Chains A and B, each alone.
Chain A
């Protein structure tokens, strides 16, 4: 394969290559080295210390039979589907900001959307944990005040949810197996991701005004504009966000760990692959096995990303 530029041209300002050495070193030390180390240790029975025993593919074959690990993928599948829907408010907000006629108001809305980003994510997690508190949390208070609790009780009785909503008893959102996944989905309401809004907005702002003018001449309604102009033209951004969301959902476990503990909460219903990997490493002391689980996770994300790139094509 030939280089896109001639060798002479590529080496003309060769000194510039020194500028990328620090970045390359950082990436090698903090990204590639741990990954290579994980691959290496996945072939060992290793407790995190210097004492380890080569066991070949035993960790991988054990992982293949690990019911908790594969069961955690079901939870992930539900969360990924839910997160797809949770992207809608960000897209809607981006469209609304984009359509504001006043640039000053656009600016202020962008600021308002970005402002929550300065709150550390851990603080947000703690606030949500408090929201879910059965006795003093905002969620149960809201349900009681609005009368929605009565509806939920009726639905519980009608559909046989197993008595998770009972009259006079505060709902334990993170204490009932049946409510764990709904709680994880509710988390983050109204699901306005600042990064998502900004990325979608960037995509929307690249749409030429002539397209809108033509649409106006054709008498296209605002919703049709979104459906036939805006949404197709921000598919690149949507695809990027879908990939990032899937990787984040598959890798993430901080939310589950903080809300439910290292065992995934009641019935282990909040167990996700990342949390199981963390559990095995730091609570069972099986670092080698956790490395093997991590490699499975890596392969899974890689395949999903490839599928996503192959099948969700953007028409240029």
Chain B
């Protein structure tokens, strides 16, 4: 091309190289400026990053409002929000933690294990018994931080590690959302019925209305994500008594963190089986209601179901308070929100029901924890307390329309219905209680229960061959996790024991030692339970 013109070639090469150098220097300069640039206050700006998976409408704005207020009061601090899609949060979390690039504060839950908590998060137990300084001048000024939350900070507590690992920012509850205009059109009423029996009758009436008018209306919008909300609740209404019989501490731990070892042990030991009348009754309830959801709902994602509902194709949809803002802003009709009924005691539809299910198991949520990788832990902790203070929780709740987690905060009119309902029962255990493998076995067979040609016997036949092995696999994993947790605390225990020996009068060391010993005992107990259950199964499987 330019072989005959070496000067031109040299100039062009020079321009190319020059452009490359300019771009590189500009990029490098930008990064260095971002890292080391002095803030307006003349000091190096300190950046606090916090991550969460709540991408629903209003939440990011709520967080932004609180962060802006914090930055206004602390000119040298920048607070950055990192919203991560729910679908990828679990992978993102593990990658960030293992890779050492985790932000200062992370929303806890979603695949987070005890190992993650113990290894990557700083306990906040030291501050929970002192008042929150940001509550000064409020009704909670002298109240210990722990008592300022509606759940007494149970949501931030790890019962296995016996430490507090985070502070909740909101309260979650599950409710039935409904198309108020459509309900009025079908029934003339503006409120959903209060009993389960009436709800099923309404579903039937809706289907008849759809057939009569030729309109494409489904009684309940379901999906892989939303259907379990209502279906598991129905199942749990039948298994509570069974759960309490098998696991003596079920009432203490609840369905969200059951003593998997005891329940698995009970199953593997023949104390309960998949044919138990409570299990069968729960499954029958699940199947009956699932028939009022749109065909093929098991293949649909959360967004598909919400889209179906806001497009006016479904009368009802069960979901959590977190979706309220998104749904009310997207729907072109009036939205009603109601409690999710379960069969009343004595109702033959659900013969083992004790009564309504309370929200006590999962009252407070959006728990933010402080990572050990935080470059500015004092500031991050201060921001966390700021976020969890009464005035800022009020602001967050006002902007996001989410229910508050702090005592004394007045919820918005929309959030009132989401205030935890505590007058009820816990709800029993689910079949996928033990971990990843029981979940896989159960969820991949749901089509045999809820599909067009499904039935309870077909579902049980599908899961029964693999269920014991799945429980055992989950138990194995639980044993190993417990053992690793115990190993991790050994060094700390040794150091604390030595410090206690040097100075027995030091109350803080003594208290810390007590706590760790108790946690270690719990861990040992779990490991022993799981090992016993495993040994029992292995003995049963070995040739006589």
Residue positions of A touching B, CB distance < 8 A:
45, 47-51, 53, 129, 132-136, 162-163, 166, 169-177, 260-261, 263-268, 279, 282-286
Contacts and interface: CB of A to CB of B under 8 A. Distances in A.
Interface in B263-320: 294-301, 304, 308, 313
B115 A267 contact: no
B119 interface: yes
Contact of A172 (B304, B436, B444, B451): B451
A175 B439 CA distance: 17
Interface in B237-287: none
A266 B453 contact: no
15 contacts: A48-B94, A48-B98, A163-B452, A170-B295, A171-B296, A172-B447, A174-B296, A176-B447, A263-B440, A263-B444, A264-B444, A265-B299, A267-B445, A282-B90, A285-B113
A51 B487 contact: yes
Given A48-B94, A51-B487, A170-B296, 17 more contacts: A45-B480, A47-B484, A49-B116, A50-B119, A53-B484, A129-B301, A134-B300, A135-B308, A162-B453, A172-B298, A261-B224, A266-B446, A267-B445, A267-B462, A282-B111, A285-B115, A286-B477
A175 B452 CA distance: 10
Nearest to A260: B299
Nearest to A135: B294
A282 B444 contact: no
B91 interface: yes
A15 B14 CA distance: 19
Interface size class of B (residues with CB under 8 A): 35 or more
A47 B481 contact: yes
Contacts, number: 111
Contacts of B481: 47, 285
Given A173-B299, A265-B299, A265-B444, A49 B436 contact: no
Contacts of A265: 299, 444
B427 to A, nearest CB: 24
Nearest to A276: B440
B190 to A, nearest CB: 27
A263 B447 contact: no
A166 B308 CA distance: 22
Closest 5 CB pairs of A and B: A172-B296, A134-B296, A174-B299, A175-B299, A284-B436
A283 B90 contact: yes
Nearest to B446: A266
Interface of B: 90-91, 94, 97-98, 111, 113, 115-116, 119-120, 216, 218, 224, 294-301, 304, 308, 313, 435-437, 439-440, 443-447, 451-453, 462, 477, 480-481, 484, 487-488
Contacts of B98: 48-49
Contact of A135 (B113, B296, B436): B296
Contact of A133 (B115, B300, B447, B487): B300
Contacts of A283: 90, 111, 436
A136 to B, nearest CB: 7
A175 B443 contact: no
A136 B488 CA distance: 52
Contacts of A286: 477
Contacts of A261: 224, 443
A125 to B, nearest CB: 12
A49 B115 contact: yes
Contacts of A174: 296, 299
B299 A279 contact: no
B299 A49 contact: no
A68 to B, nearest CB: 8
A49 B488 CA distance: 12
A284 B437 contact: yes
Contacts of B453: 162-163
B98, B440, B443, B480: most-surrounded residue (chain A CB, <10 A):
B440
B299 A284 contact: no
Given A265-B444, A266-B444, A267-B445, A175 B451 contact: yes
B488 A51 contact: yes
Contacts of B218: 135
A282 to B, nearest CB: 5
Contact of A134 (B299, B447, B488): B299
Contact of B294 (A134, A268, A282): A134
B295 A172 contact: yes
B300 to A, nearest CB: 7
Nearest to B300: A133
A288 B120 CA distance: 19
A175 B91 CA distance: 25
B447 A177 contact: yes
B118 to A, nearest CB: 9
Nearest to A45: B480
Given A51-B115, A163-B452, A175-B296, A279 B477 contact: no
A134 B111 CA distance: 30
A162 B300 CA distance: 22
A47, A129, A286: most-surrounded residue (chain B CB, <10 A):
A47
B94, B216, B435: most-surrounded residue (chain A CB, <10 A):
B94
Contacts of B477: 284-286
A169 B295 contact: yes
A166 B452 contact: yes
